[in-house]
Amino acid sequence: MPAAAAVPRPVKTPQAPQAPQVTVTDPALVKRAVKAAALGNAMEWFGFGVYSYLAVTLGKVFFPSGNPTAQLLSTFGAFAAAFLVRPLGGMIFGPLGDRVGRQKVLALTMIMMAAGTFAIGLIPSYATIGVGAPLLLLAARLVQGFSTGGEYAGASTFIAEYAPDRKRGFFGSWLEFGTLAGYIGGAGLVTLLTALLSSDGLVSWGWRIPFLIAGPTGIIGLYLRMRLEETPAFVAEAEKAESNRPKVPLREMVAGQWRALLLCVALVLVFDVTDHMLLSYMPSYLTGELKYDETHGLLVVLGVMVLMMIVQPFAGALTDRIGRRPVIAAGCAGFLFLSVPAVLLIRQGSLLAVALGMGALGLLLVCFTAAMPAALPALFPTRVRYGSLSIGFNVSVSLFGGTTPLVVTALIGTTGDLMMPAYYMMAAAVIGGFAVWRMAESAGRPLPGSATSVERI
């Protein structure tokens, strides 16, 4: 009987392993995206800087005459109120940016911020319309705060998703370079007006000039942002859905990312408390609490910001070489151990001592301004990056950063202790140090949920 024919078994052809996804970035396109995001950020923070440096003058314009401390507290109260609506802006603009795109939302925040800043320059004084003046000021500040709720998270996400992995720290540092440029533009203009105008001239009409400049500069920022293309990471994520981006529930952005959100809140806390302490509060601290000459105080702060701008790109490149964690940790340690000596130098009162104390704090702050724009977006995956980062960032800024001038002014008024700024920064440094210990290193690595990004040669 013939043997049964053997049944041939199907042979599995080994499949070649799929090549890992790689995004090749165009250096010219990356630079254009960074410039537009940084310049738009500069124009937004120009308004915040002007408000901070004119705080004493705005107190005289918009609030009843009498106690200068009460006027300053009222002005900082309106400043802090804008930060209280930032989480609401973040909860709206962030998820919207994950659904319709980063570029469209950044254009919208640019329009709103410019309109809010411009409107402040048109508000009549308290002497003219009474209580309506501070109410209108508050309304304009709320518009500013609401729009800013989608600004920083969107701009840092935009740059991070465009930049190649090995240069994300360097390119991200230019975002804060833009912030410093906005502050310098505001401080420089206020200093010039203070030097050229009498006190009566500044109070009666001179203070309006910086706010009215926001109108045309906002149009320039809008034009630059409208010319940008969407980020490669967002385009790739959108293509997975084959159509419009599916709506991501808010609970997924919060409950699904709660560990990363806690780290984000803690990192932003130390970043923003020290940032607002130095750039927003110190000008008023020098003039209001230490009775320092107003013009010289503004010039010192201006010089510190110029120093920070010079160091900023080099510090950003350093985070690409040695990592974000060591740089942020160095900043936390510096604020923990050097805040008291720096504030003591500032209190000494001489121009050299004030410059040394402020300069030391400025260089420590660069550890955060250079590292955070790259470190924070890396905490979240592409699908929820804009939304989750907006929520975490703005909750922290609202509770801790934006309230810094108000809280420290109140603490000094209650205790009489002029060292309160140092103690406040030290407490923030402890919280930030714990967050650094718990965070993962992201330098040189792809963003979560995104392909490896390399630079085209």
pTM score of the predicted model: 0.84
- At 292-319, the pLDDT tens digits run 776 677 778 888 989 999 999 999 999 9
Take residue 392 and report the two structure tokens written for it.
Answer: 């975490």
Task: State the chain's maximal CA–CA distance in angstroms.
Answer: 120
**Per-domain residue ranges of the chain:** 24-442+449-453
- At 191-246, the pLDDT tens digits run 888 888 888 888 888 889 988 988 887 788 788 788 878 888 888 877 776 555 55
Out of 3.40.190.10, 1.10.357.10, 1.20.1250.20, 3.40.960.10, select the CATH number for domain 24-442+449-453.
Answer: 1.20.1250.20
For residues 109 and 152, give the distance between their C-alpha atoms in angstroms, rounded to a whole number. Answer: 10
190 falls in which pLDDT band (50, 70, 90)? confident
For residues 198 and 92, give the distance between their C-alpha atoms in angstroms, rounded to a whole number. Answer: 44
DSSP code for 230: P
Take residue 223 and report the two structure tokens written for it.
Answer: 């034009």
- How far CA 172 is from CA of 48, 374, 385, in Å, comes to 21, 5, 16
Residue 294, Cα to own-chain centre: how many angstroms? 26
Predicted pLDDT of residue 421: 93
Which residues pair with residue 454 across a beta bridge?
A: 24
206: nearest Cα among 216, 214, 195, 217: 195
- How far CA 168 is from CA of 179, 263, 353, in Å, comes to 18, 20, 36
Check: CB of residue 108 under 8 Å from CB of residue 40: no
For residues 235 and 156, give the distance between their C-alpha atoms in angstroms, rounded to a whole number. Answer: 17
What are the residues whose beta carbons fall under 8 Å from the beta carbon of 141, sequence distance 6 or more? 51, 78, 79, 81, 82, 116, 120
